[in-house]
Structure 1
Amino acid sequence: MVTALIVAAGKGKRMGLGYNKQYLLIDGKEVISRTIDVFEEAEFIDNIVVVVSKDEIEYFKENIVERYGYKKIEAIVCGGEERQHSVYNGLVECKRSDIVVIHDGARPFVKKEHILETINMAKKYGASALAVKAKDTVKLVEGDFFQQTLDRNSIYFIQTPQTFQYQLILRAHEYAKEKGIFATDDTSLVEQLGKKVAVVEGSYDNIKITTKEDIYLAELILKKMKFFKKEVAIFV
């Protein structure tokens, strides 16, 4: 069984909206709904677990799950203090799963073919994640000065989904909990076990909506997607 674990418990303080950025409307539809749509429509995803803040569970049920009639959402889980805690809470609900696809609720433009590729790589290697190559020159800074220019061909910016064999990612989280290890993403926890994570090259459109500037970028990406969809329809 392949489960999509969508993490949507963050408050998005950097956005300064006064409410969770997951419910921000882009072209009339919530960010979180656009994200769920991708996994709901993907035939290779068997079920979905969503992690939301405790005080938003009822709102999410009524205004997202029931409103859009999602069929694959099997559990809505209460988030924790940090993202790492939220993911672990979600993993506990994935006991029947063989593969878990962990994805940020604020990344609504992930492509289905990229999700599938992470699943295939996780089946083969145990762990995989989407990433994109650095476009700009990357430098190491110490204090007030540049110390070293890094080879940008070897630098990738990590994205989600990050996809794992269930027992591996559960063990990584339990090990981190036992050792007091905190990380900003799940691949880092797997690396703590000495395991390698396979790279799947993703898309620069797979942005995480974090700041107000990202809203305008998201609207442009959506317009581009609609334009190319129309172009394809014309030539089919």
Structure 2
Amino acid sequence: MSTIAIIPGAGQGSRFNSEKNKIFHTICGKPVVAYVFEVLQKLDIIDEIIPVLRDCDIRDGELIIEKYVISKVKKIAPGGLIRQQSVLNAIKLIDDKNACVVIHDGARPFVSPELVTGCINALNECDGVVAAVNIKDTVKKVKDNLFVEKTLKRQELMAVQTPQVFRFGTIYNAYERALNDNLEFTDDTSAVEHYGGRIKIVPSFYGNIKITTKEDMDYAEFIVSRGGFSR
């Protein structure tokens, strides 16, 4: 059984407020997505990497792959209108229908080899695995008029990240069914969970941030300039 990493990077990035794809912006001189590629390239457990890019970004992606010698990239999947369509496009390019599928955001540059490996190993116990961290702040459910409806129990809540890991058939079937049912999910485990799959959490670290705004880039620059995160 092979292990294939899918790297979604075809989002519009509306909150980042830049015409350039945020995964191509640099942190201390290196593109955001290159940090992800390098971690996965060095991991023996990963056999292939499939980035997902908009047509207008493919050439820039190819240049990064060439510059950083990411030999595990054999093909690039076209982006869809929504994230789950992008991921499904990549899944359809996987030749090994028994593969373990690792999905990791191209905008999460600080993923660790240990976290990727831990998520893959945990798949033996469940239908899907997701990296997550405990919620630090109190979370309140609010009404449309911004009045508080209730305060949620923080100890019962976690913030999910990526990697998210599945067997090929599990994630493929979930997204095919979601497409037929006209359902949209904000993360991959939500689709599997919706159709009855059991999802296991692997504890992550707060430094596994997703670059969403330019303030996130400033924070990432600061962290890298200080030598990176302690995990």
Question: Tell me, what secondary structure is at the counterpart of 2:117?
Answer: helix
Q: What is aligned with 1:77? A: 77
Question: Tell me, what secondary structure is at the counterpart of 1:70?
Answer: coil
- More displaced 10-residue stretch of structure 1: 6-15 or 23-32: 6-15
CA apart distance, 1:224: 4.0
Q: What is aligned with 1:106? A: 107
Runs of 4+ deviating beyond 4 Å: none
- Compare the two structures and name the one with the higher helix fraction: 1
Q: Is the 8 A contact 2:38 2:68 kept in 1?
A: no
Unaligned runs of 5+ in 1: 229-236
Q: Is the 8 A contact 1:99 1:123 kept in 2?
A: no
The whole-number CA distance in structure 2 between the counterparts of 1:227 and 1:57 is 30
The whole-number CA distance in structure 2 between the counterparts of 1:189 and 1:115 is 21
TM-score by length of 1: 0.92
Q: What is aligned with 1:94? A: 94
Q: Could you say what the CA RMSD is over the residues aligned between the two structures, in angstroms? A: 1.6
Cα shift readout 1:144-201 (whole Å, capped 9, x = no counterpart): 3112111101110110111101110001011101111101111110012111210011
The whole-number CA distance in structure 1 between the counterparts of 2:229 and 2:185 is 38
TM-score by length of 2: 0.94
CA apart distance, 1:227: 8.3
Task: Count residues in correspondence.
Answer: 228
Q: What is aligned with 1:179? A: 181
Match for residue 194 of structure 2 among 192, 195, 198: 192
Q: Is the 8 A contact 1:123 1:165 kept in 2?
A: no
Unaligned runs of 5+ in 2: none
Amino acid aligned to 1:193: Y
Question: Tell me, what secondary structure is at the counterpart of 2:211?
Answer: coil
The share of aligned pairs that are identical, in percent, is 39
The whole-number CA distance in structure 2 between the counterparts of 1:67 and 1:57 is 14
Q: What is aligned with 1:232? A: none
Q: Is the 8 A contact 1:129 1:163 kept in 2?
A: yes
Q: What is aligned with 1:152? A: 154
